């Protein structure tokens, strides 16, 4: 399971983190921060999980507020505007502050937002970000010395710009003490349900998930949603060797034989290979075999044993070991998830009594 839940780092960040944590059941007051050019989807996740009164379904009612720095409308990335009823002073009472992706991510946080977020942590609230809003938390200095995640396309940039942040790129969300960050887009649902589950129990989180028609808990991490690794090679002889290996994934690819395809010694081949691709020949071959297995699991009907054989793993157990390590889930779970994404064949809803 590629979810990180970690203790608070001591002495990290610009402020000393208080030891008091939100007690189970204390999460009742939720404030969502939106800025100019905010993303409607991530914002709607917070609204759906925390902003709907579902007391008749056994779900506690959250005191939910949408907050902007200034009065007046703010634009979405999708071409419409929203006018919020609250300013940032509303964050003072929140048990959970959620920052959504917006133009705020592009530069330093406003002094007021930075102050409000630090104050929220000091009094024991949880501060969370969805997707690229992790940059807002990082600009405010909240993530220094802590683990955090963001969309996999932005993870390297987050690590480069904020070297004190311990970026975890291949997970759905990270909870590090009072700080919580989620990966791309729909991972905000996973983080929100996790926070509900921790404070109000599995039954409440499952009730919300059922109403949203989403799984109450997903296994795996962002690696499931990253395109298969393709590292083009500028060296023509190495490129020919890569193409040869790609055509022989089901065989025992010996490095010496592989090097001969590039007309190099095994030692020179290994050195040039790493310089060109950034990985060792063994790692490249493993990634390509896993990528081929993913494709077969998504589109084919072969058994997992047959997929393992065709991709050069030899056995389903070996495939499972490497697949779990690189993708974050099992081949069977991966197939189930992606078969669910296929266009339905002869499936329709039948009215009751028909």
pLDDT tens-digit profile of 73-127? Answer: 999 999 999 999 999 999 999 999 999 999 867 777 789 999 999 999 999 999 9
In-domain check, residue 324 = yes
Q: What is the DSSP letter of 328?
A: S
Furthest-apart CA pair in the chain: how many Å?
73
Residue 19 included in any domain: yes
Domain tally for the chain?
Answer: 2
Distance of CA 13 to the CA centre of its chain: 23
Beta strand ranges found along 42-80 (DSSP E): 63-67, 73-75
pLDDT of residue 232: 58
Kindly state the average pLDDT of the residues 17-44: 78
Nearest to 100 by CA among 178, 185, 29, 5: 185
For range 180-204, the mean pLDDT: 91
Q: Are residues 47 and 185 in the same domain?
A: yes
Q: Which of 222, 252, 285 is the last residue of a domain?
A: 222
**Which of 163, 188, 222 represents a domain boundary (last residue)?**
222
According to the model, what pLDDT value does residue 196 have?
Answer: 93
- Is this prediction's pTM over 0.75? no
Cα gap 154→192, rounded to integer Å: 21
E strands in 133-236: 147-148, 166-167, 173-176, 179-182
Residues 213-239, mean pLDDT to the nearest whole number: 71
Q: Beta strand 81-83 with 73-75: parallel, antiparallel or unpaired?
A: antiparallel
Structural domain boundaries enclosing 101: 4-222
* CATH code for position 41: 3.40.50.880
What's residue 22's pLDDT? 45
Q: Assess whether 276 and 322 both reside in one domain.
A: yes
Evaluate whether residue 231 is within a structural domain.
no
CB neighbours of 322 closer than 8 A, spacing ≥ 6? Answer: 286, 289, 290, 313
Query: Given 3-state DSSP classes, what are the helix, strand and coil percentages for the chain, each rounded to the nearest 5?
Result: 45, 10, 45
Same domain, 130 and 273: no
The stretch 292-318 carries a mean pLDDT of 91
344 belongs to a structural domain: no
Place of tokens 């996740």: 45
Answer yes or no: are the C-beta atoms of 130 and 107 closer than 8 Å: no
Asked, for residue 352, whether it belongs to a domain, the answer is no
Query: What was the pLDDT predicted at 198?
Result: 87
Do 268 and 119 share a structural domain? Answer: no
Q: How does residue 278 score in pLDDT terms, banded at 50, 70 and 90? A: confident
DSSP 155: H
- The answer to whether position 133 is within a domain reads yes
Residue-level pLDDT at 25:
53
18 with 165, same domain: the answer is: yes
Q: Which pLDDT score is estimated for 214?
A: 86
**45 sits in which H/E element:** helix 40-50
- pLDDT tens per residue across span 31-85: 999 999 999 999 999 999 999 999 998 899 999 999 999 999 999 999 999 999 9
pLDDT of residue 343: 39
CATH number, position 261:
1.10.10.60
Mark whether 114 and 214 lie in a shared domain: yes
> Which is nearest to 255 in space by CA: 239, 267, 243?
267
Asked if the structure places residue 82 within a domain, the reply is yes
The Cα–Cα gap between 218 and 209 comes to 11
Rounded Cα distance between 157 and 21, Å, is: 30
- Residue 227 domain-assigned? no
Alpha carbon distance 242, 87 (integer Å): 56
Note the Cα 18 to chain centre separation in Å: 27
Mean pLDDT of the chain: 84
Contact status, residue 155 vs residue 169, Cβ threshold 8 Å: yes
Band (pLDDT 50/70/90 cuts) for residue 144 is very high
Domain shared by 108 and 166, yes or no = yes
In a shared domain, residues 218 and 252: no
Other Cβ atoms within 10 Å of 44 Cβ, number: 13
Give residue 354's pLDDT band: very low, low, confident or very high (50, 70, 90).
very low
Average the pLDDT over 14-21 and give the result: 37
Q: Are residues 111 and 136 in the same domain?
A: yes
pLDDT at residue 298 tops 60? yes
Tokens, residue 134: 């992790």
Last residue of a domain, one of 187, 222, 257: 222
State whether 168 and 303 are in the same domain: no
Stretch among 207-211, 227-231, 327-331 having the lowest mean pLDDT: 227-231
Q: What is the mean pLDDT of residues 324-330?
A: 87
Residues 92 and 200 reside in one and the same domain: yes
Residue 210 shares a structural domain with residue 128: yes
Residue 341 has what pLDDT? Answer: 44
- Mention every residue, 6+ apart, whose C-beta is less than 8 A from residue 125: 22, 94, 95, 96, 97, 178
Tell me what pLDDT residue 187 has.
93
CA 286 and chain centroid, separation: 23
Average pLDDT over residues 228-233: 57
What residues contact residue 47 under an 8 Å CB cut-off, 6+ apart?
Answer: 32, 64, 66
């Amino acid at each position: 399971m590629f979810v990180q839940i970690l203790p608070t780092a001591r002495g990290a960040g610009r402020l000393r983190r208080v030891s008091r944590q939100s007690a189970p059941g204390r999460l009742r007051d939720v404030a969502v921060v939106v800025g100019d050019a905010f993303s409607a989807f991530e914002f709607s996740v917070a609204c759906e999980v925390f902003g709907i009164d579902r007391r008749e379904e056994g779900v506690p009612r959250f005191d939910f507020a949408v907050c902007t720095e200034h009065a007046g409308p703010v634009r979405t990335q999708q071409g419409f505007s929203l006018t919020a009823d609250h300013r940032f002073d509303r964050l003072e009472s929140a048990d959970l502050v959620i920052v959504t992706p917006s133009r705020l991510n592009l530069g330093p946080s406003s002094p007021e937002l930075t102050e409000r977020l630090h104050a929220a942590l000091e009094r024991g609230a949880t501060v969370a970000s969805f997707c690229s809003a992790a940059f807002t938390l990082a600009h405010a200095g909240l993530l220094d010395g802590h683990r955090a995640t963001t969309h996999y396309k932005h993870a390297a940039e987050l690590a480069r710009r904020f070297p004190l942040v311990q970026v975890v790129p291949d997970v759905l969300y990270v909870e590090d003490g009072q700080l919580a960050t989620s990966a791309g887009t729909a991972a905000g649902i996973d983080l929100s349900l996790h926070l509900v589950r921790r404070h109000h129990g599995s039954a409440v989180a499952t009730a919300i998930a059922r109403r949203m028609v989403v799984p109450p808990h997903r296994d795996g991490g962002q690696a499931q949603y990253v395109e298969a690794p393709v590292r083009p090679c500028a060296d023509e002889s190495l490129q020919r060797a890569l193409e040869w290996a790609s055509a022989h994934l089901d065989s025992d690819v010996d490095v010496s034989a592989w090097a001969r395809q590039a007309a190099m010694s095994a030692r020179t081949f290994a050195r040039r290979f790493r310089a060109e691709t950034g990985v060792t020949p063994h790692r490249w071959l493993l990634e390509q075999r896993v990528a081929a297995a993913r494709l077969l699991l998504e589109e084919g009907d072969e058994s997992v044993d047959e997929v393992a054989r065709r991709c050069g793993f030899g056995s389903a157990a070996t495939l499972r070991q490497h697949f779990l390590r690189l993708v974050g889930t099992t081949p069977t779970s991966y197939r189930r998830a992606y078969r669910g994404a296929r266009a339905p064949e002869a499936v329709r809803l039948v009215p009751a009594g028909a």
